[in-house]
Structure 1
Amino acid sequence: MGSLTDALADAVSAEEIERADLPAEFRAVHVCAEDEAMFSGLSDKDVRKSLRVGSVAMPELAPDEVLIAVMASSVNYNTVWSAQFEPVSPFRFLEKFGRKGGWAGRHDLPYQVLGSDAAGVVVRVGSGVRRWRIGDHVVVSAAYVDEQDPGTHSDGMIGEEQLAWGYETNFGGMADYTVARASQLIPKPPHLTWEEAASNTACASTAYRMLVGERGARMKQGDVVLVWGAAGGLGSYGVQLVRNGGGVPVAVVSSARKADAVRRLGCDIIIDRNEIGLTDDPTDDPDEVIRIGKRLGAIVRERTGRDPDIVFEHIGRATFGVSVFVVRRGGVVVTCGSSTGYQHVFDNRYLWMKLKRVVGSHVANLQEAWDCNRLFELGAIVPTVSAVFPMDEVGEAVRVVQHNRHVGKIALLCLADRPGLGVTDPELRARVGGDDRLNPLRGMTAVVEGE
């Protein structure tokens, strides 16, 4: 038997995959420690300069891990952070993780393979893996948890050792091969292509925990949910989950093109942030925050009849004060990120005197990720891929996300040599609506030539 890569291209049996030789090296998107200072003093931290595509060594497999041949991955904002080496250099994460010793020591390398999403084929299993077999088609959850941490047994996201795979660990999903713990694996929906499946897990599961999970906002039927950044990776799944759960999504977007994107996802109530005077430059003026909040609240009440029950927050500094102000008395602001800055300014009177709550949320535990995946299998929510890039063009793909020019998700082809591969249940695909239903945003993101 020849190389494993050749065997996968020939679609051979699981037994033949097992007999095929593992490559000593493989192609991967990575950043290097020697480049950490390259953006020092620069305002434009152009990720195309730091992201590399090249060969890295095949890591040894721990007993609780699997090796996956990655067919496709996708861009998340943490890839932008890694490529900028800020707000925290990824090599600080790797060094800290490596200090734990044992198998963790493998991660502390002078390069980091990026990527917190992947869809592919299991090609090797560790000696302690019980529920997965060579040949299984899987997607990967970004929640990298320690099964021996007591907190993990209450909620996988509570354990002290929980990390974001491909961001706080090495060997991420933007590669021809990746290493994941068995506790990260989810069956790939059989009716989806590789690139469609690879674009869901991190963002959709995160949105599911924020809105639906019992540790998030616990959305009810009829709830009005204000979704910031509704055309992005998180927001595009947030809008769908609200609709699917009987809520009323109110989308906030930054352009007519992005308004069209959320309209394609079935959202009828759309607010352009220019309507409320929200700019790209965050304000810390409390009076201006309240003025923006009053304008936003008036629009939401006019179009829905009530204040938002929930605000879906991941923008951070530019919007957080407005979110706290605008959510109804007793309502919930649920937050999973701060892409415009982590230091939030808000008037605490509107929090305590109106009995509002702020809920922090991060990724999703494995049960939540499986439950969310089931919604894709049912066709209740659909992928939001707007563009597909080959791995060699990863710099352009991540640059689009860095400048917020994308809608939905940007997919990255790895071992899959073209889009459209990986469907193993075409009848189910037809039943849930086919290509048009499963690709409402396809073609809405493109690289700006000469940028």
Structure 2
Amino acid sequence: MTHLDEIQQAILDGRLDAIAELPVPESYRGVTVHADEVDMFEGLESRDKDPRRSLHVDEVPTPELGPGEALVAVMASAINYNTVWTSIFEPIPTFKFLRKYGKLSPLAKRHDLPYHVVGSDLSGVVLRTGAGVHNWKPGDEVVAHCLNVELEGPDGHNDTMLDTEQRIWGFETNFGGLAEVALVKANQLMPKPAHLTWEESASPGLVNSTAYRQLVSRNGADMKQGDVVLIWGASGGLGSYATQYALNGGAIPVCVVSSPEKAEICRKLGAELIIDRTAEGYQFWKNENEQDPKEWQRFGAKIRELTGGEDPDIVFEHPGRETFGASVYAARKGGTIVTCASTSGYMHQYDNRYLWMNLKRIIGSHFANYRESWEANRLIAKGLIHPTLSKTYSLEETGQAALDVHRNAHQGKVGVLALAPEEGLGVRDEELRAKHLDGINAFRGA
């Protein structure tokens, strides 16, 4: 039996007190991309790049544990769009991030390797903590948010997202969560929600925290009761949490989806105002370089038809180039367009007359600080917001899981099992789970 087998068995048996006495494995399996393959998709369109070719499962050495850090035995993880970007080497290969980080300090040099262990979500059990860590100990069941900060300069001490050395763990750093072991900063750790399985608790992380800051936080749109909130991709990874936050916070979501099946998921969440953009046939671009304002107008009219004549107070934007012109047009006078991700393209175009003459605001939002992530996880733990897990793959099938997300052939979040041998394990609070089972399973099989 290997050291990892012993750790896995102790966790499955509930012998968490024994974790501190078990040896840390010298190596583990992780999902990687390779620096010598960054040109493998040269000449292909983004849509034709296949993550199954670039994502590998390799045996990699366990990294040295530094001060303020923790090694975590990963039971489950999940796919985010940043893993898709990493796997197709867009907009740039992530090895450029790792090289830059490696220049920061001798300890950061660990991250600059010819392979990149990816993944920005995890649930698992703390194996070891580094010097100066007091709030966590071996055996603690945890989830991790993906904000990696150094906090040695003043800029991050009001909002850690503004730290000059702010990075996304598993995307701009190495040793991510799509692996059997992960290296994190201790201030990334949060308690695992006791009523969820390993795979369910791993899935909210990045998108839940991102949606919380983008929509709820004062650093984002600062949503209030009664706000009309237009949510693009409302059944997807980000949008499914935005829809829940709007409903939970007394706002009125207008959910934009691309199929009847996705519309039905939004109805399961409790949303009533839904636009199937495929059925409506919206074509916001006449060609590669020119948008169609008449389509913006038709889209705005549809929103007002659903809301009884009201335009959105907030537009929850993440598709980017494809939809941004329509978003700026659709927001009410004095309204807010809050944007992140840009999964359809970064170079946005919009008619500035609709922005400046109608006193609208565009707010950029990127992930979340520790406090925001903690609050978002707390809502999950209390059963007020639910995971949106639709399907789970094995670690060996991560390439297929990433392809699903790349081709938008998924709903909600796609999970990946690491040390958890099967789905359904890790629940500690059956009573709370029973109260929320319908919500927890809303996306299952979608």
Aligned: 1:416 with 2:420: yes
Corresponding residue of 2:307: 304
Normalising to structure 2: TM-score of the pair? Answer: 0.96
Q: Distance in 2 between matches of 1:8 and 1:443?
A: 28
Give, in angstroms, the shift of residue 272 of structure 1. 1.1
The letter of the residue matching 1:351 is L
Assess if the C-alpha contact under 8 Å between 1:4 and 1:17 holds in 2: no
Change (3 A) 1:379 1:15: closer
SS at match of 2:161: coil
CA offset digits 1:153-177 (Å, max 9, x no partner): 1101011110010000000000000
Change (3 A) 1:422 1:363: same
Query: Which segment is superposed worse, 309-318 or 42-51?
Result: 42-51
Q: Distance in 1 between matches of 2:406 and 2:381?
A: 31
**Where do residues 304-383 of structure 1 align in structure 2 (5 Å cutoff)?**
304-305=307-308, 306-383=310-387
Assess if the C-alpha contact under 8 Å between 2:210 and 2:366 holds in 1: yes
Q: Distance in 1 between matches of 2:286 and 2:226?
A: 31
Give, in angstroms, the shift of residue 147 of structure 1. 2.4
Assess if the C-alpha contact under 8 Å between 1:282 and 1:318 holds in 2: no
**Where do residues 226-245 of structure 1 align in structure 2 (5 Å cutoff)?**
226-245=230-249
Corresponding residue of 2:5: 5
Corresponding residue of 1:448: none
Corresponding residue of 1:38: 40
Q: Distance in 2 between matches of 1:59 and 1:281?
A: 48
Q: Which one of the candidate residues 433, 440, 450 is aligned to 2:436?
A: 433
Query: Which segment is superposed worse, 307-316 or 369-378?
Result: 369-378
Give, in angstroms, the shift of residue 15 of structure 1. 4.3
Change (3 A) 1:410 1:287: closer
Q: Distance in 1 between matches of 2:341 and 2:413?
A: 17
Q: Distance in 2 between matches of 1:284 and 1:39?
A: 23
> Gaps (5+ residues) in structure 2?
none
> Gaps (5+ residues) in structure 1?
445-451
Give, in angstroms, the shift of residue 275 of structure 1. 4.8
Give, in angstroms, the shift of residue 280 of structure 1. 9.3
Q: Distance in 1 between matches of 2:194 and 2:61?
A: 31
Q: Which one of the candidate residues 410, 424, 431 is aligned to 1:406?
A: 410
Aligned: 1:81 with 2:89: no
Corresponding residue of 2:215: 211
Assess if the C-alpha contact under 8 Å between 2:124 and 2:143 holds in 1: yes
Q: Distance in 1 between matches of 2:351 and 2:285?
A: 19
The letter of the residue matching 2:423 is P
The letter of the residue matching 1:264 is K
Corresponding residue of 2:254: 250
Corresponding residue of 1:20: 22
Q: Distance in 2 between matches of 1:355 and 1:418?
A: 52
Assess if the C-alpha contact under 8 Å between 1:8 and 1:17 holds in 2: no
The letter of the residue matching 1:300 is I
Give, in angstroms, the shift of residue 375 of structure 1. 1.1
The letter of the residue matching 1:8 is Q
SS at match of 1:295: helix
Give, in angstroms, the shift of residue 428 of structure 1. 1.8
Corresponding residue of 1:265: 269
The letter of the residue matching 2:134 is R
Corresponding residue of 2:74: 70
Change (3 A) 1:407 1:282: farther
The letter of the residue matching 2:195 is H
Aligned: 1:100 with 2:132: no
CA offset digits 1:80-117 (Å, max 9, x no partner): 00000111101111011101122110000000000000
Corresponding residue of 1:202: 206
Corresponding residue of 1:292: 295
Corresponding residue of 1:222: 226
Corresponding residue of 1:442: 444
SS at match of 2:214: helix
Q: Distance in 2 between matches of 1:338 and 1:188?
A: 30
Q: Distance in 2 between matches of 1:395 and 1:2?
A: 26
SS at match of 2:107: helix
Give, in angstroms, the shift of residue 372 of structure 1. 0.8
Give, in angstroms, the shift of residue 190 of structure 1. 0.6
Corresponding residue of 1:449: none
Q: Distance in 2 between matches of 1:351 and 1:122?
A: 48
Query: Which segment is superposed worse, 291-300 or 186-195?
Result: 291-300
The letter of the residue matching 2:251 is G
Corresponding residue of 1:133: 137
SS at match of 2:346: coil
CA offset digits 1:121-156 (Å, max 9, x no partner): 001000111111111111111111112231211101
Change (3 A) 1:98 1:148: same
Give, in angstroms, the shift of residue 433 of structure 1. 2.2
CA offset digits 1:186-213 (Å, max 9, x no partner): 1111111100000001001100001110
Assess if the C-alpha contact under 8 Å between 2:338 and 2:365 holds in 1: yes
Give, in angstroms, the shift of residue 293 of structure 1. 1.6
Q: CA RMSD in A?
A: 1.5
Assess if the C-alpha contact under 8 Å between 1:32 and 1:112 holds in 2: yes
Change (3 A) 1:280 1:109: farther
Query: Which segment is superposed worse, 270-279 or 336-345?
Result: 270-279
CA offset digits 1:46-83 (Å, max 9, x no partner): 11000001201100001110000000000000000000
Query: Which segment is superposed worse, 96-105 or 144-153?
Result: 144-153
Change (3 A) 1:411 1:281: farther
The letter of the residue matching 2:224 is K
Q: Distance in 2 between matches of 1:12 and 1:385?
A: 24
Give, in angstroms, the shift of residue 8 of structure 1. 3.2
Assess if the C-alpha contact under 8 Å between 2:151 and 2:165 holds in 1: no
| Identity, % of aligned positions | 51
Q: Distance in 1 between matches of 2:166 and 2:282?
A: 35
Assess if the C-alpha contact under 8 Å between 1:197 and 1:383 holds in 2: yes
Q: Distance in 1 between matches of 2:125 and 2:285?
A: 44
